[in-house]
Structures are given as structure tokens and as C-alpha cells.
Structure 1
Amino acid sequence: MTPILFYGVPAGCSFGSIVALEWLQIPYRLCRIDMAGEEIRSEAYRRINPVAETPSLATADGRLVAESMAILNHLAPQGAERGLGFRQGTAGFDRLNQMLAFLNTALFDGFSPLWHAYEHGVEGEAKAVLVAYAQAKLTGAHAQLERMLGEGAYLLGESRTLADAYFYGIARWAEYHGVPDRSAFPRLQVLFARLADDPAVRFAAGVEAGEEAASAGGFLGHVRLEEALKELGLA
């Protein structure tokens, strides 16, 4: 079957998986899941992902893979010939896996207090505490990333990898929350700007916004959750 990525809106970390699929130029479809509504907590979607989160990927052989890091590592070998990913057991795979893990545990987690405040309507002094906590965590994560980036054009060197796709999908949350100030990290800011101009990133942004967007990869259209469940034998 043609893979299906179940992506979340608004502003899901699944953004990075859309960019990765575009870069890999393999055939794929998308299923849009509203994270602010009832659909993501529905019994129907829990057949795709029991913990009711995005992203999830239905693979070409009909298996389901959840969590951005697992999805990107699943996809990585398909980009080995172009340096976008690496085959398991190689030094490149270990470096990619290490970077994805850092992005997941440090950068992603740094934004968690801000999303908690947003999702639960936290205001006043409680919100100020959460913002201050997030600011400290994110400043540290950005400083570490700035050091790891060094003089390279991308996170793992002179060529983009799937780690850069995941980075952009998370780092853009700074524009939404106003924290942190990325201008304090000039090399990261250059990387972010470079990725923002990438056709795959522009496509993913258009998809999230519900706009008509031109794919430069293998995008074959959207499917509804009900249709995906039937195809996977989960209806």
C-alpha cells in the first residue's frame, strides 16, 4: 500500500515527517487529524495510535509506526543514497539517531510548559512561572545545539538530513510562543532561515494551513480517517 502519514494540526511535530517524506520523494498520502478537537481522542483514531497522539505512519507493508523519532528512523534508510538518512548499524545512523534523540528530549521537551499553558488556559502568575521555566530550558537547548552545529551548514554537517526536518518542525514553535529569542543563536537562526525557504518546508506549511500547496515530492493526496481504517483492515 502507499504509506499514510497521520499528521496533527495545529502546529504538530508531525510537520518534520511531512518535510522528510517530501525530501525522500517516495509516494505517500496524508491524513489530517485535528489535535484540538474530538477526533484525536476518538475510538477510531486510537485504532491507529492507542495513546491518541500524532504523528503515526502506516507503512508500505501496512504496519503502524508512532512517534516522530521512530518514524524518521524508519524512513532514514530510504534516504541513504542521498545522505538524507543512513542504514542501521552505520556511524551515520548513530549520529542521526543521537541528534533526533536530543531534539526530542531537549528541544521538544523545552516547549512542553508553554504548550501546557496554552492547552489548559493557564494565566497570571502560574503562566509566568511556566514561561520562565521554558525560557531556561530552551535557552540551554539552543546553546547546546549552537555548539553542536559548529560551522556546518546543517545539523550533521554540510548536507541536510532528516534531523533538519525534525528541527524545523519544533523550532518554529518559538515564533508561536515568543520564546526563546533565536536571534541570540546566530548559526541556528541561519539554519532556520535556510530551511524556511526550502520547497518541502513551504509545502508542509501550506498543508497545515489547509491551503493548496505544490508538492515537489511524492504526495498523492489526502485520505479521511475512515478510509484509512478500512484500507488497514481496522474499520
Structure 2
Amino acid sequence: MKIYGDKQSGNSYKLILVTSFLQIHYEWQDIDTKKGETRTDSFLQLNPNGKIPILIWNDGRVLSESNAILNFLAEGSDLIPKDAFERARVLQWQFFEQYSHEPYIAVARYIKHYLGIPEERRTEYESKQEGGHKALKVLETELEKAPFLVGNSLTTADISLFAYTHVAHEGGFDLSMYPKIQDWIRRIQSLERFKPMHSV
């Protein structure tokens, strides 16, 4: 199978992590979004939405949206709870990640870390801080109850939220304010077969 992604993207990193944890073999295809490689005709034939990551499965079928791919790859493993309610909690956190976390943490990181906060985007960058801290506080509160987001072991919920949270400082978020999040980050980084960002 092939994964099309960008090593600097948290959404792509989710798939690097899950394939490492589960020892899934794949071929990586690097896509440079800044050069417009997701807008080419050939890429748009694979994903009309023009976004990464995408997975091309062994039989040629294409799957997009990072959390959908993540859960598909983890199906049948210990990263997906067997209990239906616990599986729903995983999805709950993944919807939270896409709607209440990523739009603030990831966008602030992109504006600050990769663009250097150009003046024309300063107001947008500053507007992301409140929403980002709100999301981090939600995570901090949950991680006061258990070592992982859904119970006592790693699930795809943790992988989804870890991807951009562990680099939130690159978007101007001071993680020293969130000791439980810091513990959780270290806990995941200490797991066997953990792979750091930017490594494929």
C-alpha cells in the first residue's frame, strides 16, 4: 500500500505513528503542499478534496481523511477498543480533534512555525490562541482521570490528539501550563516502536 503525505503535517504523522506501532509496511510518497502538489490533476483524481494524507490500499482503492485512515489501519488491533461504548469514545475524541483542536493548534503552528507570523496573518494567529488553550484545557482535565484518553492503554484517540499537541509549542502554546499533557506526551514517546515526527 502507499501513503501520500507531508512529513511536517500532523495529520500525516498520525499514519507514520500507527504504522510504526503496528509494524505495518507501506510505501511513502512525499507530497509538498507548499508547491501545490495536492492541486495537480493527478492528485485530484485520487482525492478531489485536494488534501493529504491519502492511502492507496493494496487493491487500488483510495481512502482520505487522516482519522478514517488511522482507524482503518488499526482495525482489529488493541488500538481500537472492543467495547462499543469505548469505540464511540475514541470517535468522540477524534471528532473533537478535527473540530475543536486542529483548527486552532495546527493552524497557529503553521502561521508561526512555517510562515513566521506575517503581518497580514497576525490577527488570525492571535485569534487561534484562545481556542487552542480551550482545547488543551479539555485534554488536561481528561488526562487527570486516566493515563490515556480512553482508559489505561493507547488507542487511536491518543494518536490523533498527540500528533499536533506534542508540537503545540511551535504554534506559541506553552505546554508547561499543562503538566498532565506533558506526562501523556512522555508516556507515548516512551512506548515501544514510537517514531518521532519527520521520520519516514
What TM-score range do you get, normalising by the shorter chain?
0.7 to 0.9
2:8–2:198 Cα contact (<8 Å) kept = no
Give the RMSD, CA atoms, in angstroms: 2.4
1:162 and 2:162 matched: no
Query: What is the CA-CA distance between 1:190 and the residue it aligns to?
Result: 0.8
2: distance between equivalents of 1:172 and 1:185?
12
Aligned to 1:35: 33
Query: What is the CA-CA distance between 1:55 and the residue it aligns to?
Result: 0.7
Q: 1:200 to 1:42 in 2, by over 3 A?
A: farther
1:8–1:55 Cα contact (<8 Å) kept = yes
2:7–2:13 Cα contact (<8 Å) kept = no
- State, as a whole percentage, how many aligned pairs show the same letter: 25
Deviations 1:189-209 (A, max 9, x none): 1111222344544355322xx
1:9–1:34 Cα contact (<8 Å) kept = no
Aligned to 2:94: 100
TM norm structure 2:
0.86
Aligned to 2:173: 180
Quick one: which amino acid aligns to residue 187 of structure 1? K
Q: 1:164 to 1:112 in 2, by over 3 A?
A: closer
Q: 1:169 to 1:134 in 2, by over 3 A?
A: same
Query: What is the CA-CA distance between 1:116 and the residue it aligns to?
Result: 6.6
Larger Cα-atom Rg:
1
2: distance between equivalents of 1:63 and 1:108?
27
2: distance between equivalents of 1:164 and 1:31?
25
Query: What is the CA-CA distance between 1:50 and the residue it aligns to?
Result: 1.3
The 5 A counterparts of 1:11-26 are 11-26=9-24
TM norm structure 1:
0.74
Quick one: which amino acid aligns to residue 136 of structure 1? E
Any unmatched runs of 5+ in structure 2?
Answer: none
1:85–1:161 Cα contact (<8 Å) kept = yes
Query: What is the CA-CA distance between 1:44 and the residue it aligns to?
Result: 1.5
Quick one: which amino acid aligns to residue 191 of structure 1? W
1: distance between equivalents of 2:50 and 2:104?
21
